[in-house]
Chains A and B, each alone.
Chain A
Amino acid sequence: MSEVRKVRVPIEPGFFTVPDDPATPPRLLGSRCHACGEHFFPRRLVCARCLAEDMQDVELSPRGTLYTWTYVHFPLFGSKRADHAGGYGVGQVDLPEGPRVQAVLSGELGDFRIGMQMEVELETLRENKEGQDVVIHRFRPVEAAR
């Protein structure tokens, strides 16, 4: 399979990195408060915990623990892909720094269990007018549950 690698662009900038090499895992872009140490996703300018305006941009851990999940039996909004038409998982993943991230999950109904390790990846939703792949972050189980 010799395929020209397509340019990937985020659905919205400022939330995650899009590495040039698709084999490199992306990182979620967060903030850390200098005053109290609390971490946040996504980025913000004022600390929601201590209200200090002293935030530092950080890249968050790519792995976390699944706090809860569901499986939605409807097509994924904004996706034109046939394999997104049947349904999709949604979960909340607790990152080691603290933030709980709500995102789409990769996998089938039955692949998920609360407490399992998850890793962030990028998923293509559709192609834009420029022929670039529009991507969004999602989490997949580190080891397949099957």
Chain B
Amino acid sequence: MKLENVAVLGVGMTRFGVFRDRSNVDLAREAGLAALRDAGISFKDVGEAFVGYIGAQPMTGIRAMKEFGLTGLPVTHVENASATGLVAFRDAAWAVASGRCQVAMALGFDKMTEMSMGTRSGGRGVGRDAIDSVILPAAYFSLWAMRRMHERGTKREHFAAIAAKNWNFGAKNPWSDRQPDHEVTIEEVLASRKIAEPVTAMMSCPVDDGAACVILASKQLARRLQPGRPLVAPIVSTLQSETYARGHTFMGPVVGPPSMTRDTARQAYDESGIDPMDVSVTLVHDAFASEELEYYELLGFCREGEAEKLVEEKQTHLGGRFPVNTDGGLIARGHPGGPTGLAQIFELTRQLRGEAGPRQVANARIGLAHLVGGGSVCTVSILKRE
């Protein structure tokens, strides 16, 4: 269903990185206050809030909200693994679009550096079945990559080229965790430490802390409060869990299958009337560079089997036909978990307003954000400059 009468009023985020001396609540306050300033409103104007995180204790969301004041507003915790932030955004957009409130806040935070992977009793990973806990999460997406290489003859260099692109975008983004001081090359990515065949360390996202916040409002209110600013309107936000098909693996927090992205994106295109060819700037779940290559096809930017060509022609770089992960993506900007999807909306909003500086996509009009989350789920949001 199409979203009507909702606009992004303000965005804010912390830089992503490792912040040993800062708490989740501290990071959340910084991002939230930045978004309120960008929106030009007071916290008492916020009618409803959705708070997303993966790693913190229950109730941390409501505690974080108290940092802004105690106004009695409804607060809902949202968790959908890596997709958490983008799902909080979806809920906040619908809270406004449904008429339930005039202004809604989506706030995400996490300290991935404090999540203990594989350190609980018996060596099990967090939230995973003991039976499946022996497998490193990186393996899941590498299984896709190895199958892709088998079916399509994809080379490691294709994945490395995507990673290098995202690292180099990171250098142009002050909010990015990784800001390399030199042009990252394919060779450098390939030579980094091996994680899970064919993925290397530089093809993988870092372990991050951070927070991000998006404030949504009715279009009338946005136009009244920000008369000089381009209106950035979410026009659709879809969310799917898996549909059963032969070949599904049931064990553990599985990622899968790639077709989830095609189905969730198709629903977003159908409901909004947007064609993939109309998309100006795209942010995807590149926890591993090999995923991003698959998403080029699944999001409809090229035909099946042509993603490698898109990489070779640098069509997803700045100046290409479909710039992807202009803020550095999960690989460079970072991936704390809860705030990741809201950092995507932060970037899309700045791109669509024309505020993206050295990474600005010329005449950006339509932005798409995509995340998958373990379990698994997929979510796609499309925003339009009006």
Contact = CB atoms under 8 A, between A and B. Distances in A.
Contacts of B143: 68-70, 90-92, 102
Interface in B96-129: 118, 122-125, 129
A74 B133 CA distance: 14
Contacts of A88: 134
Given A69-B146, A90-B139, A104-B134, A49 B244 contact: yes
Interface string A108-130: 01000010000000000100000
B135 A90 contact: yes
B224 interface: no
Nearest to B200: A73
A3 interface: no
B142 interface: yes
A94 B133 CA distance: 21
B138 A72 contact: yes
Contact of B150 (A72, A90, A114): A114
B70 interface: no
Contacts of B145: 70
B134 A125 contact: yes
B353 to A, nearest CB: 41
B131 to A, nearest CB: 4
B25 interface: no
B22 interface: no
B133 A71 contact: no
B246 interface: yes
Nearest to A43: B250
A100 B123 contact: no
B351 to A, nearest CB: 34
A68 B147 contact: yes
A131 interface: no
A42 interface: yes
Given A12-B129, A77-B125, A98-B246, A70 B197 contact: yes
B146 A70 contact: yes
B154 to A, nearest CB: 13
Nearest to A100: B247
B249 A70 contact: no
B356 interface: no
A29 B47 CA distance: 51
B284 to A, nearest CB: 21
B254 to A, nearest CB: 7
A71 B139 CA distance: 8
A11 interface: yes
Contacts of A7: none
9 contacts: A42-B131, A42-B250, A68-B147, A72-B138, A73-B197, A76-B134, A78-B133, A88-B134, A90-B196
Interface of B: 118, 122-125, 129-136, 138-139, 142-147, 150, 193-198, 244, 246-252, 254
